[in-house]
Amino acid sequence: MTLKAPLAVLAVLAGLHFATTLAQSPSASCSNSQPLVGASNAPRSYDGSVGVYNTPWMSPPPASYNSGAGKCITWQYTPATAGNIYFSTCGLTSDDTVLVASTGTCTNDFGETMILMLDDTSGCQFQTILNFEATAGTRYFLHMCTYASYYLDPSTAVKLTSGQFMFDFQCPAGMTDHDSLVETACISCTGVQGIYAPVDSRGACSTLLCPAGTSDDDSSSLTPCVACGPGTDTSSPGKYGLCTNFNVPAGKYDHDSNSATSALTCPAGNYAPAAGILCTPCATGSWDHDGSSATACVSCASECVAGYYESPGCTPTTNRACATCTAVTSCAASSTTCTSPTTSRCSTCLANFYKVAGPSSDTCEACAAACTTGTFETADCTATSNRVCTACTAISDCDATVSCTSTSNGRCSACASGHYLVPGSTSAQDACAVCETCGVGTFESQACTHATNRNCTHCTPLENCAQVSCTDTTDSVCVQCHAGSFYNTTSQACHACVECASNEFEAIACTFLTDRSCSACANVTNCASVTCTSLDDSICGSCTSTTYMSPNATAGDDEQCLPCAPVAGCAHANVVCTTATDSRCNAAASSADPTVIIVVVVLAALLLIVVLVVLLVKRRQHRRSQPRFVAQPKDSVKDSAGPIYQEAVQMTVSPLNHSTRPEREEDHAVVGQQQPDPLYQALSTDAKEVVYDYASAYVPGSNSRRIREGLTIVKHLASGNFGDVALGQLSFSVLSPRAQTLLGPTASETVQVAVKSLKSDADEKSRKDFESEAKLMAPFVHTNVVRLLAALVESEPHLVLLEFVQYGDLHSLLKKSKLHSLWWTQNEQIHAIRQIALGMEYLGTLHFVHRDLAARNCLVGKGMVVKIADFGLSRELASENDYYRMQTRGKLPVKWMAPETMTFRKFSSMSDVWSFGVTAWECFTYGAPPYGKMDGRDTLAHVEAGGRLPQPKYCSPDLYRLMLGCWDMSPEKRSTFAQLTKALKNFDDETTIRDIGAML
């Protein structure tokens, strides 16, 4: 569109021209124009083909102009009520138009009066808005025409094509377009309260409610609703009347000072006055007496007096109430205060009571009674403290209650058994001292009582006896001979042991019960003088004149003397030498009569043959007398990591070079043997411990026959070195008084015994060893050592009767416990190893070294009594500080042996302590093999390098330290059995010891 600036002027001129034209033009009718009906305020479409009317400014049109230019489209509309007519193309798709409104009759195609003609407005460029007030019943013509500039161009014939326009009739204030149709009348909202109907209202009057937060204060729909202020509640629309009519009631409050939102209820314990905007809590000391926030809070009751407490206290919702304090027993009157039922405090207790301040409440406790025996008073009863009685200081080994007046003047009225009283002074304790123990060689001449110590008197000495035993001065018995002597059981006297010659060695050591036995050294060819320490280490001291000492000679070598090199022209018998290169002829010998020489040589040769034959016979007899290795039965004990018993010689360090010839089985004397697995029965532990002379175990003559005839073999148990072990039974009455005393009282006339029998084809050496073991066991009278009941050796077969211990060896019991998941308590394990220590301590007092202490060699009986058995390797020591040096080869339990026993073949009580540590380790590992799969050499190397058995999984550190104390490389630094038994007693927690053997 062009010529926008003069548009307003054009509208005015056109109006004038339109009025003039009406006066000049002939009348024409536009009553057939299309009426406007339908939805109000909605877009409508038009089509230019209906544009048949000329524009006002083209009437009549100049002849020179295009006849189709300047056409308009006309509609008619008659409002039913007064209001505003709205006619516009603004914002819609349309041609470039001018809108014209007119009224009156149709003259020259337009109404006779033009009301308004408008082109573009500043708010709607290139389009038009026509808006004017209309009266009810007046017909209005609304024209949409092409813009005037188009007809000035005669080359165009412009007319309207198509587009949209908006037509609306807007109701006046107080009325509303109830149905949104332009052809119907607006309805009046007069008389409807709580609404506001401004110009152009639509919908029913009831939908024009005053919004929340406002009110129709004059009840007129013509005036706007007024906003209500804070303290009112017009949260629902359609309110009418003054805003004060909608004040928030007491008990509620305008929480956000906004009338459009609902008032909130003020909870109990607060006060909210009418038209209020706050909900105020009751002030301190006041409360909501009626539970309604619509009324003011009132003051609480007065504060509680002494002896009472607030229950409940004064709060915004509760009044103060006073309740009586909980009474404190034995509290003086008017002395109780509290803040709750559980916080009573007492300022003063009654007499003979004292206050105890608890965390919340006090109590009045009665003072303790006067101190009793065993205590003394150190603090009196006061208002705040009790009487204190302090225990008297304990007196060790006192069996009575100690009395005292201080901690340092205790008095004992009865010492424990085995102790006597040492009275103290006024400021010193009494003491109970251990009564003296009568040692070997003494007897008790005055008993130990509470008042007196035990007196010990020396036994009457016996000739040639180093140590005697007795019960008075008239019954002395020899128990130890002087060094180099042995006790002859036949003569009952000590005799000097045999001394070995220079060419002999000690085969059996000189002990208390055994004379020294000497054997000749093995002959060395061409040797004039031989010395040795065993059958296999002969050393030549000097060779014969015709031989010399080999520089490579080693002990036991048969070729230590080599023949001299021949000398030309000299008879062999006359050749002498000291080395292989200095042979020379003995002139004196050469000048002798040849006949004499021949005779001498022949005689010497015959003599040499005789000597060699004799030596050969003796050597063969000697070898036959040595015990051979006995194959173990299939059910004998095995070491899972290899043989338990290994050749001791393989781990022996000797200052001599040994021959490299292969070792032979017959060259080794088997010193130890596997302990069979007999089932044993426990002895009664009530039997009185009595020391018996070993000789009383041997049963001679008719008594022996009675026992043999009454003995019944129940079943075979195992086989060992000497023979067999069987379970036997016999009448209690046929046993000797000694054996009956050892077994103690029995409810059965028949008793079970373990019977060891010597093999019928045993050689003399085996017979002696069999009898030697019996002699060793004869003196043993201890609960924790297997006891010998009888030795039947006066005739074949040789038998030894031992107490029967029914659960078998400890190692098997441990393995069986693990198999059945029957786990021992620590106290049960300590109980077992302490009994072993007690038995070993006893053997030490008799100067015996066991040499084969292990779990397999300890038997377990009823009540879990553990007994030491298998004395096949045991030896008697001259004294506790002596040691036994093994002289012969033999198989030994190397994994249980101390280092000095493997290296130097040196045994003592301290080497038994080492074995005890390994046995204890077995107990805590349920019979695991020591050192795993190591062989003997590896075990020794491991130990000498500082290695030790590891701590068992369920063994406490303290018990493991006790084991380590048994494994010191220095024997003198190891614990003694006396120390071990005392230490193990301290571990006893006094819990029940189950009879595990019976459970399995």
**Which is it for strands 485-488 and 493-496: parallel, antiparallel or unpaired?**
antiparallel
Give the H or E element holding residue 967.
none
* Residue 666 DSSP SS3: helix
CA distance 159 to 286: 89
DSSP letter (8 states) at residue 532? -
CA distance 703 to 753: 17
> Hey, CA dihedral for 653, 658, 660, 663, is it positive or negative?
negative
Residue identified by tokens 């379970």 is 727
In DSSP notation, 329-373 reads: TTBPTT-EE-SSTT--EES-BPTTEEEEE-SS-EEEEEPPPSP-T
User: DSSP H helical segments within 106-181, as ranges?
Assistant: none
As beta bridge partners, residue 548 has 562
Specify whether the CB–CB gap between 875 and 813 falls below 8 A: no
In DSSP notation, 241-291 reads: S-GGGGBPPTTEE-TTS-TTSPPEEPPTTEE--TT-S--EEPPTTEE-TTS
**Which is it for strands 187-188 and 175-176: parallel, antiparallel or unpaired?**
antiparallel
Specify whether the CB–CB gap between 676 and 805 falls below 8 A: no
Of the listed 852, 870, 912, 935, which one is catalytic? 852
Quote the distance between the C-alpha of residue 958 and its chain's center.
Answer: 20
Identify whether 60 is preceded by a cis peptide bond (ω within 30 of 0): yes
* Residue 588 DSSP SS3: helix
Residue identified by tokens 């005392």 is 982
Residue identified by tokens 């005689």 is 603
C-alpha distance from residue 215 to each of 219, 224, 259, 260 (Å) = 9, 9, 10, 11
| Residue 852 annotated to the active site | yes
**Which is it for strands 226-227 and 252-253: parallel, antiparallel or unpaired?**
unpaired
**Which is it for strands 34-35 and 71-77: parallel, antiparallel or unpaired?**
parallel
CA distance 695 to 447: 29
* Residue 997 DSSP SS3: helix
Specify whether the CB–CB gap between 79 and 85 falls below 8 A: yes
CA distance 868 to 977: 14
Quote the distance between the C-alpha of residue 382 and its chain's center.
Answer: 50
CA distance 921 to 628: 32
Residue 569: which residues within 8 A CB-CB, separation 6 or more?
A: 585
CB atoms inside a 10 Å sphere around CB 386: 16
Give the H or E element holding residue 692.
none
CA distance 730 to 708: 9
Amino acid type, 236: S
As beta bridge partners, residue 508 has 517
CA distance 148 to 850: 147
DSSP letter (8 states) at residue 485? E
Residue identified by tokens 């003494």 is 442
Amino acid type, 62: P
Phi first, then psi, for residue 985 (nearest 5°) are -65, -35
C-alpha distance from residue 108 to each of 60, 438, 626, 875 (Å) = 8, 167, 168, 163
User: DSSP H helical segments within 425-571, as ranges?
Assistant: none
The catalytic residues are 852
